[in-house]
Amino acid sequence: MAETKEKQTYQAVIGLEFHVHLATRTKMFCGCRVTYGDPPNTHTCPVCLGHPGALPVLNEKAIELGAMAGIALNCEVADHAVFARKNYFYPDLPKGYQISQFDEPICVGGHIDVPTSDGTVRVGITRLHLEEDAAKNVHVGESGRMHGSTGSLIDFNRGGTPLMEIVTEPDIPTPEAARATANQLKAILQAIGVSEADMEKGQLRCDANVSIRNLDGSFGTKTELKNMNSFRFVEKGIAAELERQREIIEERGRIEQATMHYDPNKDEVYSLRSKEEAHDYRYFPEPDLLPLELSREWIEDKKNRLPELPAEMKKRFVESYGLSDYDAGVLTADRDLAAFYEEVAENADPKQSANWISGDLRALLNEEGIEISDSKVGPKHMIELISLVETDTVSRSAARTVLEHVFESGDAPSSIVERDGLAQTGGDELDGVVEAVIADNPDEAERVRGGDKKVVGFLVGQIMKATRGNADGGQARERLLEKLGS
């Protein structure tokens, strides 16, 4: 898709499907705890193990969180929703069916506005429905995958975890926009607290549907891309799949509907099955659960209790801190970074705070591939650092060095300045240096007194040299000209 001359000919069509664990204490239809990393099969009961005769009891908190997510995604929350059995056989599904929602889901018809480098893209939300997660198959052997394993074990701890499926319209035009959509969705879900949405814990999973538009503008055949375990791989996987489809189209071949997998090591997509079997899940209404009846008051109450969403927070950052759209977008895309920023901005110049956090600090985080919550730099460090620059204790470039040391050690900026002799030469000390430089360079000084500005740079250079770069260039120049009366 990269070649510009082909831009008009090859137009990508992308739709995403997300599965998100809801942040409830217990499972969807039983009292078992939702846990991560506990020993296998320690949180099970007859309901989530699918024993005959065991009856599901709906988790009210899950309904509340699902509705709140729908409201935040600008969906309509239905006043009547129905749980349905989705029937299929797999070892991780002991009942032989998953309780899900089918033709009457809890939420439909929303949208999110996604910031991309080409401007804002509005991505439609087709539906949001509630279901239960399956258990987890653990494949024994080196690969950790079914293919090539020597056996499979099942951990039922995950079975029955409250799950929300969110399906977007095929509105996403580029792999980059797909990644941004996933990021935006995650930020929204985290902001309202309906999910931790930690991909590493499997709390957020994303599949992509990918096709290339036909010449007449109609949709082409789509493939489904599964198992991408980071948003970076979502972007790269879609790009690789579009590339594969483009090559087939250029050779006048036909795209086969298929399920594809992305291999990040090879940066390639591959297909496990050549022909897609048509599923027939034989959905029917779950007879053991009553339909959900949600009153307008109940829905209104959830709406009122919704906290500030990333888009609203961004607007507030622009208005109350005077930030650029870009800085506000970067800071509010990450809930923890936004909270970090606010703490700093309450105690330091808001624009300087944004520059340091969205620029220097974020670059260090990206380099190390860590989150702000795992960093040794706290708001206190940042506030102190900004004040050291503001009071001319350190130059801006020395402050960058100080930040790097804080990032590594978590030490206080002032103690690093002292330890490494990074303090800026100012005040009387700078005056002394300026006078010494004038005395050592009488000819140049005389020329400046006579109005010749060409040698000012040379003299400032001498001052910088004498202070080993620890003076502020602008300040040095100012003092010099003052003393030379020009």
- Which residues of the chain form contacts with Zn ion (CB under 5 A)? 30, 32, 45, 47-48
Sequence-distant contacts of 244-253: CB under 8 A, at least 24 apart: 244/269, 245/210, 245/211, 245/212, 245/220, 246/1, 246/6, 246/10, 246/212, 249/10, 249/212
DSSP bridge pairs for 83: 101
By beta-carbon proximity to ligand ADP, the closer residue of 213 and 315 is 213
350 is a site residue for ligand ADP (CB under 6 A): no
413, interface contact from Zn ion, ligand ADP, none, CB < 5-8 Å by kind: none
By beta-carbon proximity to ligand ADP, the closer residue of 130 and 299 is 130
- Residue ranges of E strands in 272-414: 284-285, 292-293
Q: Name the helix (H) or strand (E) containing 235.
A: helix 231-250
Closest CA to 185 of 370, 327, 14, 18: 18
Name the minimum Å distance from CB 342 to ligand ADP: 35
Residues 367-386 that bind ligand ADP (CB under 6 A): none
Binding segment for ligand ADP among 10-18, 75-83, 107-115, 371-379 (CB under 6 A)?
10-18
Alpha carbons 253 and 276: distance in angstroms, whole number? 18
169, interface contact from ligand ADP, Zn ion, none, CB < 5-8 Å by kind: ligand ADP
What b/e sequence results for 388-407 when a residue is b if at least 16 CB atoms lie within 10 Å of its CB, and e otherwise? Answer: bbeebbbbeebbbebbebbb
CA 389 from centroid of its chain's CA atoms: 31
Name the minimum Å distance from CB 328 to Zn ion: 44
237, interface contact from ligand ADP, Zn ion, none, CB < 5-8 Å by kind: none
Name the minimum Å distance from CB 170 to ligand ADP: 4
Contact partners, residue 375, CB within 8 Å, separation at least 6 = 361, 364, 365, 407
105 is a site residue for ligand ADP (CB under 6 A): no
Name the minimum Å distance from CB 54 to Zn ion: 9
From the list 169, 343, 429, 431, which residue makes contact with ligand ADP (rule: CB under 6 A)? 169
From the list 99, 108, 163, 167, which residue makes contact with ligand ADP (rule: CB under 6 A)? 167
By beta-carbon proximity to ligand ADP, the closer residue of 42 and 221 is 221
Q: Give the phi and the psi of residue 304 in degrees, each rounded to 5.
A: -70, -25
Q: Name the helix (H) or strand (E) containing 77.
A: strand 76-77
Q: Give the phi and the psi of residue 141 in degrees, each rounded to 5.
A: 135, 175
210, interface contact from ligand ADP, Zn ion, none, CB < 5-8 Å by kind: ligand ADP
By beta-carbon proximity to ligand ADP, the closer residue of 281 and 298 is 281
173 is a site residue for ligand ADP (CB under 6 A): no
Alpha carbons 297 and 302: distance in angstroms, whole number? 9
By beta-carbon proximity to ligand ADP, the closer residue of 211 and 470 is 211
Binding segment for ligand ADP among 2-10, 69-77, 112-120, 207-215 (CB under 6 A)?
207-215
Give the SS3 label for residue 152. strand
CB burial of residue 296 (10 Å; 0-12, 13-18, 19+): exposed
Residues 216-245 that bind ligand ADP (CB under 6 A): 219, 222
By beta-carbon proximity to ligand ADP, the closer residue of 24 and 168 is 168
CA 87 from centroid of its chain's CA atoms: 34
Name the minimum Å distance from CB 373 to Zn ion: 31
**Alpha helices in 37-152, H assignment, sequence order:** 60-72
Residue 371: which region, alpha, beta or left (left: phi > 0; alpha: psi -120 to 50)?
A: beta
User: Helix, strand, coil: what percent of the chain each, to 5?
Assistant: 40, 20, 40
Residues 16-75 that bind ligand ADP (CB under 6 A): 16-17
110, interface contact from Zn ion, ligand ADP, none, CB < 5-8 Å by kind: none
By beta-carbon proximity to ligand ADP, the closer residue of 16 and 292 is 16
Residues 109-148 that bind ligand ADP (CB under 6 A): none
By beta-carbon proximity to Zn ion, the closer residue of 32 and 212 is 32
308, interface contact from Zn ion, ligand ADP, none, CB < 5-8 Å by kind: none
Binding segment for ligand ADP among 29-37, 209-217, 271-279, 334-342 (CB under 6 A)?
209-217
343 is a site residue for ligand ADP (CB under 6 A): no
Binding segment for ligand ADP among 98-106, 208-216, 407-415, 429-437 (CB under 6 A)?
208-216
CA dihedral for 263, 269, 274, 278, sign (positive or negative): positive
Name the minimum Å distance from CB 98 to Zn ion: 15
DSSP string, 433-462: HHHHHHHH-HHHHHHHHTT-GGGHHHHHHH
Number of neighbouring beta carbons within 10 Å of residue 275: 9
470 is a site residue for ligand ADP (CB under 6 A): no
Pairing state between β 259-263 and 223-228:
parallel
The binding site for ligand ADP (CB under 6 A) comprises 13-17, 167-170, 209-211, 219, 222
